[in-house]
């Protein structure tokens, strides 16, 4: 099924609930009558999108158009595949549990907020707080895989508890801020204070040096981690060769911290 945007969005749009599991069993007329919030009023999808049925049968919902002012795209995704051809706003993939979300464009802030499972891939750049906690919660992303082929903003993996976040290019400050567990891979350079107040988990920074780390991280050893070939194989199986080819089986310097929090987290820097 395809939803093709009829005109540019001028008022904030909330696409929470526009999911494959909900729309695919419906007829075209039923989908057109599904309501969403546009600003402070409810509108039917048929007013905003042309609803089309694809000839091939598959559990895929495609949304085509510039959705940069549309928030909560893919929020609560619980199965199937949601494919977005265009940029989206904030809170995309919020509380995802299952399924796959592909975004061929840029994304606003709070991508994969409170994510619990599933697969999320972004071809463009992403804003701040990827995998962060929901408002009022104290734990962030708890599972799933997030792959960003562009750059990301600050506080990637804030209070992350489990799962994987991989960024092909650079990211902003405070990557892994208050991280509890999980894995973050950055193919480019991270900003200031990576791993600030982290307690556990692993951060792999391919574009940074020891001088970029805080005093709360101490050098433990230099070694060749056997996890790297496995990580590259896993990324390749997830159909993200753009990230997989950045990982090489080579020597890394291992740093433990953040000792200011009595943390046992790991930061790996290639030699």
pLDDT tens column, 61-80: 999 999 999 999 999 999 99
Predicted confidence at residue 46, as pLDDT, reads 93
57 within domain boundaries: no
Predicted confidence at residue 14, as pLDDT, reads 96
263 within domain boundaries: yes
Average confidence (pLDDT) over 207-223: 91
SS3 43: strand
60 within domain boundaries: no
Average confidence (pLDDT) over 210-235: 88
96 within domain boundaries: no
CA distance linking residue 210 with residue 255, whole number of Å: 9
Query: Given a cut of 90, is residue 233 above it in pLDDT?
Result: no
DSSP state for residue 107 in the 8-state scheme = B
- Mean pLDDT score across all residues of the chain: 92
245 within domain boundaries: yes
CA distance linking residue 100 with residue 220, whole number of Å: 38
Q: How far is CA 110 from CA 33, 135, 179, 181, 261, in A?
A: 29, 10, 16, 19, 25
Predicted confidence at residue 140, as pLDDT, reads 94
160 within domain boundaries: yes
The pLDDT confidence band at residue 180, using thresholds 50, 70 and 90, is very high
Residues of the chain with pLDDT > 90, as a percent, come to: 79
Predicted confidence at residue 232, as pLDDT, reads 81
Residue among 117, 114, 66, 64 at smallest CA distance from 91:
114
Predicted confidence at residue 56, as pLDDT, reads 61
More confident residue, 156 or 233: 156
The pLDDT confidence band at residue 250, using thresholds 50, 70 and 90, is confident
Predicted confidence at residue 229, as pLDDT, reads 83
265 within domain boundaries: yes
Q: pLDDT digits over 34-65, tens only?
A: 999 999 999 999 999 999 987 666 789 999 99
Query: Given a cut of 80, is residue 83 above it in pLDDT?
Result: yes
Query: Given a cut of 80, is residue 240 above it in pLDDT?
Result: no
CA distance linking residue 81 with residue 183, whole number of Å: 24
Which domain does 185 fall in, by range? 109-270
Number of domain units in the chain: 1
259 within domain boundaries: yes
């Amino acid at each position: 099924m395809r939803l093709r945007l009829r005109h540019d969005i001028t008022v904030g749009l909330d696409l929470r609930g526009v999911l494959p599991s909900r729309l695919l069993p419906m007829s075209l007329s039923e989908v057109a009558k599904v309501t969403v919030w546009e600003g402070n009023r409810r509108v039917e999808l048929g007013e905003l999108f042309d609803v089309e049925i694809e000839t091939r049968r598959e559990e895929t919902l495609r949304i085509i158009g510039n959705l940069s002012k549309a928030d909560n795209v893919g929020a609560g995704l619980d199965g199937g595949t949601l494919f977005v051809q265009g940029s989206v706003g904030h809170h995309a993939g919020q509380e995802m549990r299952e399924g796959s979300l592909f975004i061929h464009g840029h994304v606003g802030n709070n991508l994969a907020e409170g994510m619990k499972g599933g697969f999320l891939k972004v071809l463009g750049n992403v804003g701040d707080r990827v995998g962060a906690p929901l408002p009022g919660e104290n734990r962030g992303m708890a599972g799933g895989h997030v792959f960003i082929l562009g750059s990301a903003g600050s506080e990637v993996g804030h209070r992350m508890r489990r799962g994987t976040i991989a960024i092909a290019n650079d990211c902003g400050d405070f990557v892994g801020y208050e991280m509890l567990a999980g894995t973050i891979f950055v193919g480019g350079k991270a900003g200031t204070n990576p791993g600030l107040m982290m307690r556990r988990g692993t951060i792999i920074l391919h574009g940074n040096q020891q001088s970029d780390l805080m005093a709360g991280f101490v050098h433990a050893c230099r070694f060749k981690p056997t996890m790297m070939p496995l990580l590259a194989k896993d990324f390749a199986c997830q159909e993200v060769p753009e990230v997989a080819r950045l990982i090489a089986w080579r020597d890394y310097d291992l740093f433990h911290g953040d000792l200011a929090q009595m943390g046992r987290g790991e930061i790996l820097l290639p030699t």
